[in-house]
Chain A
Amino acid sequence: MDLDFITQSLVIGLTENAPLVLAAIGFALLYRLTGLINVAYSETITLGAYFGMWLNTTYGLDFYTILIPTGLLTGLLSVATYLAIFRPAKRRNVGTLEMIIVSFGLSIFLRHGLQFVFGYPVRFYDVPPPDTIMILGVGVTSFRLLAVASVALLSLLLWVFIQRSRYGLQIRALANDEDLAQVSGIRPLAVTTLIWFVAGVAGGLAGAFYGVGSNVSALLGWRQFLLILMVALVGGSWGLGGVILVGVGTSVALAAMALQFDQSLYAQLVLIVAFVVVLKVRGTRLTETAKV
């Protein structure tokens, strides 16, 4: 294995797949702290791409300017889905399995419903060609570098927020024991709403980065969902740091295999098999521990 191959894999993996890490952080936050596998998170990503494209093409805003309103819009939409669908479902004691199917239904509804709003054809951002910067001999666009910086910044902010702030403490308390947290004066609705908002912002920004890097279509988020889910499930066991680590590892592995096989789909195939095997081994171990 030559040094060029390793360098290319690292640079391409880290810059091209930075939105994957960003989306996985948002998804894992929701999963770890509310216990919900939200399939409709894929549509938060898609909507981020659509909102960004809409702001960019309708109001002529440049890509850097649209990021904040895009994040806010997807954050609010994420909160809206919680208040309109998932909170009532929880109050009706809908089970874990059924909750996943509800989120699957919401995902399908949004994915197809938004085609009536934004149209059926594939859409593109109207942005000037980005600057290309050479990093270790590999050309990287300024948008991709911004995605990497956003992942780093958001990860840091989330870590500080969850580990060091008063709200972060409340979030962790709520995740551990909702009843006890409520008795201690924590307002579950406010804290849960905050989690959904932050997750929505992360998903929306990831969508905008995916969209500007290629194109915007209704299937954009769904195509990424399985990898995001796997990264969040496998990495999530070790907290936010684990998600970032597994996300980065996945990104680099994707790039390396795409370079090796000359076909990115094979890389996805290998990763799917690898992640399922990891879950299988870990699942068996958990069962064995539970038996003891």
Chain B
Amino acid sequence: MNLDWLDAFLITGLFQVVMVIGLALLLHLQLGLTRIANFGVVGFWGLGMYAFGVLYVKVDWAFGEPWQFLVCAAAATVVAGLAGLLVGWLIADLNTDGVLVGTLGFATAVQILATTQDDLTGGARGMGGLGFPYDIGRVKDNEFLWLVITAAVVVAILMYAWRVHRSPYGRLLIAVGGNEPLARSLGKSTFRAKLWLFAVGSAGMGLLGAMNGVMVHYLDVGNIGVGVTLAAMVGLILGGTARVWGAVVGVILTVGLFDIVIQSYLPLPKEWYTQAIPVLREAAFGLTLMIVLLFRPLGLLGDMRRDKLMGKIHGR
């Protein structure tokens, strides 16, 4: 496959966009449908990444690739899912303030463990030794194939979110987000629904973290900061929290703009890329969050289709 036309930065930028779309889709199910503000997205993503890294590098597996990758990625997904189950149990009956503490606390705990357990994680020095589960030639070819595989995983998450919207379970989640006591009074187990949602969402975030670990090859504690949660949240809110495609549109307009258009195509002075552009990116994301929630709280795509339909039927 001749990929000479493809810039290496473009592959990295596209990977970032695809991965954040995946996180934003999972956040959409939690925040958009169920109104659980998960401020600890990076915690589950980072846990998956480090669990994968530790298993992949530290364990002497009896089998080679691609089984080593598959087993480690599956284990990382399960670990993140179990963490989601625990955190979900802790926060499921708390109000928004408690959810903020629980999820933010979890993300901080993951960062602390990644820093302090340096025998396992390499601590502040970081951990190398990760690689692609295949070798098809040049680095660029391997990276491009990994981008395609990750995109396929994100498409699967998109399909899942799509199906949830149209399932009884999805309707229950929407009811929980709208009026939880009412849903409970109708005999629905809202606690179990939230718990399952959190566990599945966290497992998905963990899998994406593991896939990110493969792409970057080197795990660094500095990469599991609040910026990951911010990127997913700002994309989702700009696109529209209530719509599945909101996550896709919003992340393309935010992460895509900065990590592809500005990073690869704007003729800016080189020294800007080390500090000014990343700082500007985060400041712009923060500003976007405020502006959207103040002036267009439903985001670019607006309300759910079913709400529009009901509005039309009832003449609203």
Q: A-side interface residues toward B, CB under 8 Å? A: 37, 85, 88-89, 92, 94, 96-98, 100-102, 104-113, 115-116, 120, 222, 226, 229-230, 233, 263, 265-266, 268-269, 272-273, 275-277, 279-280, 283-284, 287
Q: A265-B112, A283-B93 are in contact. Are A88 and B294 (CB under 8 A)?
A: yes
B237 touches A101 (CB 8 A): yes
Interface size on B, residues (CB 8 A): 42
B293 touches A120 (CB 8 A): no
Sample of 12 more A-B contacts, CB < 8 Å, known A104-B230, A112-B282, A226-B108 = A89-B293, A94-B294, A105-B234, A107-B286, A108-B283, A112-B279, A112-B280, A230-B105, A263-B116, A268-B112, A269-B112, A280-B94
In Å, the complex CA distance between A100 and B279 comes to 22
A104 touches B289 (CB 8 A): yes
Report B54-96 CB contacts with A as 1/0, cut-off 8 Å: 0000000000000000000000000000000000001101111
A106 touches B286 (CB 8 A): yes
In Å, the complex CA distance between A284 and B91 comes to 10
Task: Report chain A residues within 8 Å CB of B282.
Answer: 108, 111-112
Task: Report chain B residues within 8 Å CB of A268.
Answer: 108, 112
**Could you name 27 residue pairs across A and B whose Cβ atoms are closer than 8 Å?**
A85-B294, A94-B297, A96-B96, A97-B96, A100-B37, A102-B293, A102-B294, A105-B234, A105-B286, A105-B289, A108-B283, A111-B282, A112-B279, A112-B280, A112-B283, A116-B276, A116-B279, A222-B226, A226-B101, A233-B98, A265-B116, A266-B112, A277-B90, A279-B102, A280-B90, A284-B93, A287-B93
Point out the residue from B35, B90, B275 that lies within 8 Å of A120, measured CB to CB.
Answer: B275
Task: Report chain A residues within 8 Å CB of B275.
Answer: 120
Task: Report chain A residues within 8 Å CB of B37.
Answer: 97, 100-101
Closest 5 CB pairs of A and B: A105-B289, A108-B286, A109-B286, A112-B283, A105-B290
B297 touches A98 (CB 8 A): yes
Check B300 for interface membership: any CB of A closer than 8 A: no
Check B288 for interface membership: any CB of A closer than 8 A: yes
In Å, the complex CA distance between A85 and B230 comes to 19
Give B121 Cβ to nearest chain A Cβ, in Å: 13
Check B109 for interface membership: any CB of A closer than 8 A: yes
- Chain A interface SS verdict (over half): helix
Output the nearest chain B residue to A261 by Cβ-Cβ distance: B116
In Å, the complex CA distance between A107 and B226 comes to 11
A273 touches B97 (CB 8 A): no
Give A273 Cβ to nearest chain B Cβ, in Å: 7
Point out the residue from B101, B109, B280 that lies within 8 Å of A233, measured CB to CB.
Answer: B101
Task: Report chain B residues within 8 Å CB of A107.
Answer: 286
- Chain B interface SS verdict (over half): helix
Task: Report chain B residues within 8 Å CB of A272.
Answer: 105, 108-109
Identify which of B94, B96, B109, B286 gathers the most chain A CB atoms within 10 Å of its CB. Answer: B286
A109 touches B287 (CB 8 A): yes
In Å, the complex CA distance between A276 and B92 comes to 12
Q: B-side interface residues toward A, CB under 8 Å? A: 35, 37, 39, 90-91, 93-98, 100-102, 104-105, 108-109, 112-113, 115-116, 226, 230, 233-234, 237, 275-276, 279-280, 282-283, 285-290, 293-294, 297
Task: Report chain B residues within 8 Å CB of A226.
Answer: 101, 104-105, 108
In Å, the complex CA distance between A108 and B114 comes to 23
A230 touches B101 (CB 8 A): yes
Give A176 Cβ to nearest chain B Cβ, in Å: 19
Identify which of B35, B91, B293, B297 gathers the most chain A CB atoms within 10 Å of its CB. Answer: B293
A102 touches B289 (CB 8 A): yes
B293 touches A105 (CB 8 A): yes
A109 touches B283 (CB 8 A): yes
In Å, the complex CA distance between A126 and B293 comes to 41
Output the nearest chain B residue to A273 by Cβ-Cβ distance: B109
In Å, the complex CA distance between A280 and B106 comes to 14
Task: Report chain B residues within 8 Å CB of A120.
Answer: 275, 279
Output the nearest chain B residue to A99 by Cβ-Cβ distance: B293
Identify which of B39, B96, B275 gathers the most chain A CB atoms within 10 Å of its CB. Answer: B96
In Å, the complex CA distance between A280 and B100 comes to 12
In Å, the complex CA distance between A55 and B100 comes to 35
Point out the residue from B101, B283, B287 that lies within 8 Å of A275, measured CB to CB.
Answer: B101
Give A72 Cβ to nearest chain B Cβ, in Å: 25
Give B224 Cβ to nearest chain A Cβ, in Å: 14
B286 touches A97 (CB 8 A): no
Q: A85-B290, A102-B290 are in contact. Are A108 and B98 (CB under 8 A)?
A: no
Task: Report chain A residues within 8 Å CB of B105.
Answer: 226, 230, 272-273, 275-276
Give B147 Cβ to nearest chain A Cβ, in Å: 28
